[in-house]
Structure 1
Amino acid sequence: MRYEATRSRVEDYFDRTATKTWERLTSDAPVSKIRETVRQGRDQMRERLLARLPSDLTGRRILDAGCGTGMVTEIMAARGAEVVAVDISPQLVEIARSRLTPGLAARVTFHAGDMLSADLGRFDHVLAMDSLIYYHAHDIRNALSVLGERTQENIVFTVAPRTPLLMMMWNAGKLFPRADRSPTMIPHAPKSLSRELEDIGTLADLGRVSKGFYISQALEFRV
């Protein structure tokens, strides 16, 4: 039940607590200096993950797993992909739907729900930017195993890297009452995660993006 419990906390946070924050962060609206570093870091990570997909995505079916407000969805659809954009937060899905360029609407199918749902179908590629950062290694293994069975080529995703700063934040977060916590990022070392996955596929380290208050590790999984 650990995956379901974490998913429920993530849904509650993004759909009830932080919707307006993420709507603003992923727009052109002015933000604080701290949030500007997060915005810049996410921009860099988005480019890094998209670089692992073909430049021409015509005819490719891609899962944007944890699509948020739809920035990656927009780019992939503009490059010709048929995109299935799913997020656990119905409010974020509606923001993504409203922001999508009308001429790309025929290429995108939006869903509010679990990114692992079999109802979403099969894919050529999966991109999961910062949507697995709250899960333990066992849950990431399960997610990649489930998605890998339905993915023809690669799954590119991110985790929170196991750095001294993030470990300090992770341990400090345990001191707050549960009601006051945002979902806690679970740090992972790529080598340890690779050992966790070695019997179901191969994991490649795509490097880390560290920009102010944004720190994330890019990885690529293939069955």
Structure 2
Amino acid sequence: MPAYDQTLTRVEDYFDRTATKTWERLTSDAPVSRVRATVRAGRDRMRDIMLGQLPDDLTGKRVLDAGCGAGQMTAELAARGANVVAIDISPSLVEIASKRLPEAHAPQVTFTSGDMHDVRLGDFDHVVAMDSLIYYEAGDIGASLARFCPRVSGSVVFTVAPRTPFLMTFWSMGKLFPRSDRSPVMIPHAPGKLARAATDAGARGRVQEVERVTSGFYISTCLEYRQ
């Protein structure tokens, strides 16, 4: 998957070398700008939506937090009783997540950095991937779901940037005027196209849209893949 690998490297470089402090602040209670406050609110709402797709009681369930970032989702999953594998491509963010996790939940969580598709992570009941697939092409996302397919007994809940006129305009501008110091460009997607890409890649389940969140500059759609 050369396109996937190249994007993975760009995202890792951005989050581990450029944006760690920004994301540490954004995911805390520290004061932020008005624009970033809307992003924070949007992410909080999206996290609630994603968690709403999972059972309230996850005791004994094994859950992969794919792209755990600073660990907010990880802490919520552990509070519901899950045994969580929290992985992110940024070791710096994983370190922040580990330090923030309440000590009472530490025995339930394994933190690691690397690729969320690593088969050495084992099998899972559920996977949550919040804003960790938003930089990838439809074919890469379809292949990602296909790779999870034999290892996940329940659902994969993930987010993408929706294909709206607003986001398509900004995406086109980003393609026309690339800058090396900017974060990787999000790629807007339509759920139907992702469903076809997953089928083409060999995934046996169904992709369906759950809910869209629009909060200032945060625009994201929650999707669920279930076999």
Partner of 2:210: 206
Inter-partner Cα distance in structure 1 for 2:82 and 2:63: 7
Provide, for residues 164-196 of structure 1, a one-character-per-residue CA deviation record: whole Å limited to 9, x for no partner.
Answer: 111111111123344223111010011221222
Give the 5 Å matches for 1:104-143.
104-143=105-144
Deviation at 1:147, TM superposition (A): 1.1
Inter-partner Cα distance in structure 1 for 2:172 and 2:142: 23
Secondary structure of 1:185 counterpart: coil
Deviation at 1:141, TM superposition (A): 0.8
Partner of 1:98: 99
**Which piece of structure 1 moves more, 66-75 or 199-208?**
199-208
Partner of 1:5: 6
**Which piece of structure 1 moves more, 79-88 or 166-175?**
166-175
Provide, for residues 101-156 of structure 1, a one-character-per-residue CA deviation record: whole Å limited to 9, x for no partner.
Answer: 01110000001100110011000000000000000011001111111210010000
Give the 5 Å matches for 1:151-162.
151-162=152-163
Inter-partner Cα distance in structure 1 for 2:42 and 2:89: 23
Inter-partner Cα distance in structure 2 for 1:100 and 1:181: 30
Structure 2 counterpart of 1:159, which letter? V
Partner of 1:196: 197
Secondary structure of 1:152 counterpart: strand
Give the 5 Å matches for 1:17-166.
17-166=18-167
Q: TM-score, with normalisation over the residues of structure 1?
A: 0.98
Inter-partner Cα distance in structure 2 for 1:164 and 1:185: 14
**Which piece of structure 1 moves more, 195-204 or 165-174?**
195-204
Number of residues paired by the alignment? 223
**Runs of 5+ unmatched residues, structure 2:** none
Q: Does 1:218 align with 2:190?
A: no
Structure 2 counterpart of 1:186, which letter? I
Secondary structure of 1:49 counterpart: helix
Secondary structure of 1:50 counterpart: helix
Secondary structure of 1:153 counterpart: strand
Inter-partner Cα distance in structure 1 for 2:98 and 2:182: 28
State the superposition RMSD in angstroms.
1.0
Contact 1:127 1:156 in 2 (8 A): yes
Contact 2:82 2:108 in 1 (8 A): yes
Given the superposition, is the C-alpha separation of residues 177 and 192 from structure 1 closer, same or farther in structure 2, using an over 3 Å criterion? closer
Structure 2 counterpart of 1:219, which letter? L
